[in-house]
Every structure is written in C-alpha cells, then in structure tokens.
Amino acid sequence: MLTLLIALPALGAFGITLLPRGRDELAKQVALGISIVVAVLTIGMALRFEPGGARFQFTESYWWIKQFGVHWAVGVDGVALVLIALSVILMPLVILASWSEADRFGGAELPKADLDKYARPKRSVKTYFALLLSLEAMMIGVFAATDVFLFYVFFEAMLIPMYFIIGSFGGPQRSYAAVKFLLYSLFGGLIMLVAVIALYSQGPGTFLFAELSKLNLDPTTAKWLFLGFFIAFAIKAPLVPFHTWLPDAAGQAPTGAAVLLVGVLDKVGTYGMLRFCLELFPSAAKWFTPVVITLAVIGIIYGAVLAIGQVDLKRLVAYTSISHFGFIALGIFAMTSQGQSGATLYMVNHGFSTAALFLIVGFLIVRRGSARIDAFGGVQKVAPVLAGTFLIAGLSGLALPGLSSFVSEFLVLVGTFTRYRVPAVIAAVGIVLAAVYILWMYQRTMNGPTAEPVKGMKDLSHRELAALAPIIAIIVALGFYPKPVLDVINPSVQHTMSRVQMKDPAPTVAEKGTRP
C-alpha cells in the first residue's frame, strides 16, 4: 500500500516529463489528478489504521541491498500517518493554487513594468509539475521509511526537486537562495550519513529501525551519534542558529514550493528528532535535553521578534515558522505525553495554517507584483474574501483558541510546564508576540485606506478559493474537535515515552479519592 503511494506520484512525475511540448494544461491536469488519487488512497488507508493495534501498520519489507543490510522497509505509526496525511492533502491544493505559477509570465494580470521586477521561470511548466509530484513521492517515502538508510536516502533525495524548483521558478534572488538551501542541507545530510554508518557498525548488520532502536550503545558513542542526527534535523527544521537559510529559501521559492518546504519538508526535521534522536539514543537525548530546550525557547522568542521586524511578507511567514519550530522542538524534548503529542499535532496544524498563509501571501504577490508589506494597504475594501481568509489563516498562526494550532500550542506548553516551568513561561511570551506580528502584518496590508496600486485588485478566484477552503475547514474542524487526530498520535507517543523511559510528572495534589 505504502509502496504504491510512493510509486504513484513518482510514475506520474515520470509520465509528465514524457508529455509532448506545449501540452502544459494536460501536465497540470495529470498532476492534479494523480495527487487527488494519492490523497484519496491515503485517506482510505488512514481510516483503516487501528490506533490500538500494532505500532507500525501497513508494513512492507524487502531486501534492497542485501550485502549492506539495507531494506526497502516501510510502515506507518500514528505520527508518520498524520504527517503523510498532511503531505498528501496539501499536495492537490498546492497544485491547484500554483496553477499558473510556472507559466512563462507567472502573473498574467501584472502590468508589464511590474513583471520585469519579478523573475521569470527558467524551465518549462511540465518540469514544474513533474518536480512537484516527485517531491510528493519522496515526502511520503521519508515518513514511511522504517529502514534508517532508506530514510536517509529519501531525506537527501528530497533536496533535489526542491533545489530545482527554487532555482528555476523562484524570485529574483533564487540562485542565491537555492544554493544556500542546498549547502545547508547537504552539510546536515553528510553529518547524518556519518552517524548512520557509525550506528550501523554498532548494530547487527542491518539498518532496520526496529533492530537499531533496541541497541544499547555506549554513552559516549550515543552522544556523538545523537549529535550527528540532531544537527541534520536542526538544520532541516530549522532551529536557531541553523535557520538563516529558511527565510531566503521560502522567500524566493514559488508559493507552492514554499508551502511544501515549510509545511512538510521542514517537518522531517522535527519528525526525525522525535522518531530517531529520541528512540535510537534515548539516554543521549535526555543528556542533551537542556541544550535543546534552551535552543527551542530562544528560537520561539527570537523567531517571533524577527518576524515582527520583517518588511517582506514571505520572509515574515518564514520567521513565524522558525518560532513555531521552536515550539515543536520544545514539546518533543519536554519528554511528556502532552508535549510530544502536542508537538506532533503541531507539525500537522502548522502545516495547514502555514500553507494557508503562504498561499494567500502568494496570491497577494501575484496580484501586486511585490512581496513588500508597504506595497499593500486597504486590501480588505477591494477583496473582502481574500482578506477574510487571510485573517483566519493569520489567527490560526497566532494560535487562537477554536482554531487547530491552539490545541497543539496549548498541549506543548502544558506538557512543558509540568516538567520545565521557566522555559514554558518564557515560551508563553510567544503568544503575545504572535499577536503582534500577525495583526500588525494584517493591519498594514489589509486595513486602512486603500492604496492606489491596490485599487483594481481582484478578489479570490474560484480556483484560489477551492485551494483554500479545504485548509480553512480543516483548521476550524481540528480546532473544535482535535480528539480523533490525537487518538491516532497518542499510542505512538507512548512508545517513544517508554523507549526514553520517561513518565509524565504526577500532579502535586492528587485528586480526591485517590489520595492516600
């Protein structure tokens, strides 16, 4: 099943490259069709997932490189399942939203003068959609891999399509951004590779996660290996101080790619921390916890302060994500069930709410030909629907109760608070800063008198609305009823908790009746 899910978009990508020249519309339709089929199949699979059943389900395992003990082994637990679901649900929406993004003249509505300021795509339309589909295959693969080497391969291979998308279809400074993205990721990847091999040398000659997570490593070795994995994931996620590639990459990437980059690809980093750093090296993870918590809290505040100071919409959203990744890392390393379940849910919720933000920002940029905040003003008056969706996406970004991100942020904070009071309180300052960066951005772009160049701006088209509406619906639905998703996540988190041998701190006052 999982292999099929990986193969389908990969074959689709290959198929699109075979299409004759000039059949751009067909390429788009094929890409959309395949991504919808993948999404439907995944949802069908997710419904058959049994939270109370075996940890990994839908498992498959075949020898890949027998000599080196490498398996094609895939399977999902609750955490991987929800992240795959996030990826495949976002994919058709991203394709829909970036329908004309790769066209020769990206924003056809723009006046000629503005258009020249905006870099033109370097490669063909079908390349763009083929790259998107191949990216989808790798995103599913990276979350589904239960063989550490296979995971590494997907982890690295993901870079390739993203590099080409940013480098060929991005903004004016795309080559700088693409290379920076690549260098950072390669650097992290190589460190991880060393750690992967070293881990293999300690084990029984296999890369299977299930086997490797049973190892009892020598503490010093474990610490070094932990660092090898952690640095790669901290670059990917990214945590401060490994973050500076993200605003450039996300700022220059075309909108659809920015959504996938920040919404899904970066989650591989936090997913890796939870799955690999904690379970492969439990005692080392505990040893490094104070360092990670400190970095996470710094990231929350630092990212938020920087977001407030941005003048470019895309970079602003990127910095808010750096702040949010801090929350996710905090939840994971708080080593409580609320923290880790909250962090996992945070990955999903952040994926959706950032996707909505990036998409709308993208729509705004295409209309205006500029990403600068001061190029806008008073959009609400001319495009009320666009402004309304932007506000909902923004409120989700600031974790308004009743919207999905609140649940995860609250769980992370509660889970952290029960073990680490001071970091949780400092992190909670982030909720005030979030209100500042979101609402100030909203005010400067949407409110006030309508700026002259904004006056003719069109409201959302049906296509754009179709891309946004499902995301908004999910954000609201999970805000009011998060339990079903949490029920899927919880058992997996319990596995992690027992592997790191941590228990939730007991309340200081037991409930009446249970008190001795």
Q: Residues 93 to 152: which contact other proteins by CB under 8 A?
A: none
* Residue 380 makes contact with other proteins by CB under 8 A: yes
| Residue of 42, 98, 341, 396 interacting with other proteins (CB under 8 A) | 341
* Residue 201 makes contact with other proteins by CB under 8 A: yes
SS3 breakdown of the chain: % helix, strand, coil, rounded to 5? 75, 5, 20
Binding mask of the shown chain, residues 41 to 60, with x at each position contacting other proteins by CB under 8 A: --------------------
Nearer to other proteins, 230 or 319 (CB): 319
* Residue 410 makes contact with other proteins by CB under 8 A: yes
* Residue 423 makes contact with other proteins by CB under 8 A: no
Q: Of all helices (H) and strands (E), which one includes residue 275?
A: none
* Residue 453 makes contact with other proteins by CB under 8 A: no
Q: Of all helices (H) and strands (E), which one includes residue 58?
A: strand 57-65
Closest CA to 409 of 332, 488, 324, 494: 324
* Residue 178 makes contact with other proteins by CB under 8 A: yes
* Residue 18 makes contact with other proteins by CB under 8 A: no
Cα distance between residue 9 and residue 14, in whole Å = 8
Residue 402 neighbours by CB distance under 10 Å: 12
* Residue 435 makes contact with other proteins by CB under 8 A: yes
Smallest distance from the beta carbon of 319 to other proteins, in angstroms? 9
Stretch 226-245 residues interacting with other proteins (CB under 8 A): 240-241, 243-244
Residue 466 neighbours by CB distance under 10 Å: 14
* Residue 183 makes contact with other proteins by CB under 8 A: yes
Quick one: three-class SS letters along 437-483?
Answer: HHHHHHHHHHCCCCCHHHCCCCCCCHHHHHHHHHHHHHHHHHHHCCH
Quick one: three-class SS letters along 391-422?
Answer: HHHHHHHCCCCCCHHHHHHHHHHHHHHHHCHH
Smallest distance from the beta carbon of 454 to other proteins, in angstroms? 12
| Residue of 170, 171, 228, 378 interacting with other proteins (CB under 8 A) | 378
Cα distance between residue 149 and residue 72, in whole Å = 9
The count of residues interacting with other proteins (CB under 8 A) is 87
* Residue 221 makes contact with other proteins by CB under 8 A: no
| Residue of 111, 402, 456, 463 interacting with other proteins (CB under 8 A) | 402
Write the CB contacts of 452 (distance below 8 Å, at least 6 apart in sequence): none
Smallest distance from the beta carbon of 509 to other proteins, in angstroms? 4
| Residue of 12, 78, 121, 342 interacting with other proteins (CB under 8 A) | 342
Quick check: 172 and 120 in contact, CB under 8 A? no
Smallest distance from the beta carbon of 239 to other proteins, in angstroms? 12
Stretch 476-505 residues interacting with other proteins (CB under 8 A): 481-483, 486-487, 490, 504-505
